[in-house]
Amino acid sequence: MKLISHKVLALARKELFSHSNSPAFYGIAVFFLLFSSIWLFYIQRYFTQDLASLRAYFAAFPLVFILIVPVITMKSWAEERKLGSVELLLTMPFSEWELVFGKYLSSLGILAFIILLTIPLPLSLLPLGRFDGGVIVAEYIGSFLLGSAATALGLFLSALSKNQAGAFLGGAVVLMAVMLIQQITFSFDLPVWLAAGINFISLGFHFESFSKGLIDSRDLVFFIFATVLFLFLNTRVILYRKWR
C-alpha cells in the first residue's frame, strides 16, 4: 500500500478546506508573524546586536509552537468525537493509518504554510549584512521538523480528548513541557545521566543544533522517530475506539 494514497490526499484536502474556512487559521497566522517579529526586534533588540544571524528569530519558534500547534490540531479528533462523526469516519473505507495520516498532512500543511509566511522577513534583512544562506536553510529545516513532531503529538492528544478545549489545554501543557524541559538542566546541578535523559526527550533541545545552522543526523532521526511514534500511537487510539 502506498504511504500517500488517493484516499489520504482526499481526506487531507477536506481537512485543509475546513481549516482555511476557520477564523482560527487566520488568527494564528497573524499571531505567529507578530510574535516572532516582536520577539526579534523588541525583545531581542536585533538591530543593537550588530550580528548577521537570525538565530534569535528562530529561537522564538519553539515558544510560539506551544500555542499555535494545539490550535491547529485540537479539533482534528476531539471535534469529530464530540459531534459523533468519528463513528461515521470509522465506517468509511479508510484504514486507521490513512485517517491519521490524512489529518496529519492537513495539519502539517497549515503549519508549513504559516512558516513559509515568515520568509519575507529574512529576505528583507539579507541586504543588511553577510548572512549565511546555508544556516538559514538549516534553521527552516529544523523548524519544519520540530513542527512535524509537535503536530503529530498534538493530533495524538486530540484523539485522547473529549472536546476542543481539553485538546488545546492538554496540547499546550504537554508541548510546553517537551519544548522547555531542557531548561531544568541549566537551572539545577543534575547527574549526567539524568540531564542526558531530560535533554533526549526535549523537542527544544533537539532544535538547538538546527537553530545554529547545524544539521545533526541524531536530531534529524529523533524528529522523524518522534513523528512516527505519535502517529502510530494515534492509530492505536483510533483502533481501540473502533473496536470498543
Q: What is the pLDDT of residues 36-58, one digit of tens each?
A: 999 888 888 887 877 788 888 99
Q: What is the distance between the alpha carbons of residues 86 and 73, in angstroms, rounded to a whole number?
A: 15
Q: Assess if residue 30 is contained within a domain.
A: yes
Total domains in the chain come to 1
CB atoms within 10 A of CB 221: 11
* pLDDT over 90 (residue 95): no
Quote the pLDDT of residue 20.
74
**CB within 8 Å of 86: residues ≥ 6 apart:** 77, 80, 241
User: Nearest CA to 54 among 39, 69, 68?
Assistant: 39
Q: Assess if residue 88 is contained within a domain.
A: yes
Q: Residue with C-alpha cell 489545554?
A: 169
Quote the pLDDT of residue 1.
44
- pLDDT-derived band of residue 228, with 50, 70 and 90 as boundaries? very high
Least confident among 106-120, 134-148, 156-170: 156-170
Q: What is the distance between the alpha carbons of residues 104 and 49, in angstroms, rounded to a whole number?
A: 39
pLDDT tens figures, 186-226: 777 788 888 888 889 899 999 999 988 888 899 999 999 99
Q: What is the distance between the alpha carbons of residues 48 and 65, in angstroms, rounded to a whole number?
A: 26
Q: Assess if residue 1 is contained within a domain.
A: no
CB atoms within 10 A of CB 17: 11
Mean pLDDT score, 61-86: 81
Mean pLDDT score, 112-135: 89
Question: Which three-class secondary structure state does DSSP give residue 4?
Answer: coil
- pLDDT-derived band of residue 156, with 50, 70 and 90 as boundaries? very high
Lookup: cell for 124: 528583507
Domain that holds residue 141: 6-243
Q: Assess if residue 183 is contained within a domain.
A: yes
Quote the pLDDT of residue 87.
62
Q: Assess if residue 191 is contained within a domain.
A: yes
Query: What does 120-141 look like in DSSP terms, one character per residue?
Result: HHHHHHGGGS---HHHHHHHHH
pLDDT tens figures, 172-190: 999 999 998 888 887 777 8
* pLDDT over 80 (residue 112): yes
pLDDT, greater one: 4 or 234: 234
User: Nearest CA to 156 among 77, 226, 94, 98?
Assistant: 77
pLDDT, greater one: 211 or 19: 211
* Percent of the chain at pLDDT exceeding 90: 39
Q: Give the total residue count for the chain.
A: 244
Q: Assess if residue 70 is contained within a domain.
A: yes
pLDDT, greater one: 18 or 70: 70
